[in-house]
Amino acid sequence: MTTFGARRLPSAEPAAAQYIEQLKTIPLPLLSDNVHRGTGSVGLQPYSKPTPATMAGTAVTVRCRGGDNLVVLRAFDYCRPGDVLVVDAGGDLTNAVVGGIMTAGAAMLGLAGVIIDGAIRDVAEIREREFPVYARGVNHRGPYKNGPGEINVPVSIGGMVVQPGDVIVGDADGLLAIPAAEIAAVIDKALVQQAKEEAQMAEIAQGRWDRSGVAALEAKAIN
């Protein structure tokens, strides 16, 4: 189906497995700092049980009407193990888009996570699982199933544009979308920063904290 407003487009090629595995070991702030700190979602929260690993996977995107999950149900047919289902429900909180059954189904299919810019329900159940689920809010009222909706089109979640095939990463600090073509460079920069920060933490553990660079930063500050 290609009609505008109800498009069903093929999923993008998944990101290389080696990059996904690397991303799972890198805290999100290190990645965010290396994409100019100006991107990333705002207002979406993790509702699943916290884990040390960073969620990482290739985006399969969905745009639906607020509180209507018909197209979300169909979108699972476009997902592969390791993908992240990214749903733009317009930030609407009047009815939940997914709940315990659909997130359990996503985990069973091997998805890396589910992101809803809208409402979810069955939160007590979701919080017992480590399967990553992010949403804007919670509402016990269930979804409608009327459509329409689109699959694998550009979407916006929490003010962050996500293109189909972007690599989505998330942890307790939030969510970030990185174009697949830029993943290797962002990982390299983040690992360099990680080594520097680990050295700083080691110094602090020894009772030292080098802040000699603050004066230079103050001299450059625009006042």
Model confidence at 217, pLDDT cuts 50, 70, 90, reads confident
Which residue range is the domain that position 109 belongs to?
A: 17-189
Q: Report d(CA 183, CA 61) in Å as an integer.
A: 19
Is residue 127 situated within a structural domain?
A: yes
Question: For residue range 69-83, what is the model confidence (pLDDT) as tens digits?
Answer: 999 999 999 999 999
User: Measured at the alpha carbon of residue 119, what is the angle toward residues 116 and 125, in degrees to the nearest 5?
Assistant: 90
- pLDDT by residue (tens digit) across 38-47? 789 999 999 9
Position 221 in a domain:
no
Q: Please report whether residue 174 resides in a domain.
A: yes
DSSP H helices, the chain, are: 17-23, 28-33, 70-75, 100-108, 123-127, 183-205, 214-220
Mean pLDDT of 14-43: 94
Residue 195 lies in a domain: no
For residue 202, being part of any structural domain is answered with no
- Assess if residue 218 is contained within a domain: no
**Residue 87: in which H helix or E strand, if any?**
strand 84-88
Task: Give the pLDDT score at 37.
Answer: 79
Q: How many domains does the chain have?
A: 1
Is residue 210 assigned to a domain?
no
Q: How confident is the model at residue 174 (pLDDT cuts 50, 70, 90)?
A: very high
What confidence score (pLDDT) does residue 184 get? 97
What number is the average pLDDT over the span 213-220?
A: 89
Dump pLDDT digits (tens) for 103-161: 999 999 999 999 999 999 999 999 999 999 999 999 999 999 999 999 999 999 999 99
Residue 9, helix vs strand vs coil: coil
CATH code (residue 61): 3.50.30.40
pTM value > 0.85: yes
CB 112 within 8 A of CB 57: yes
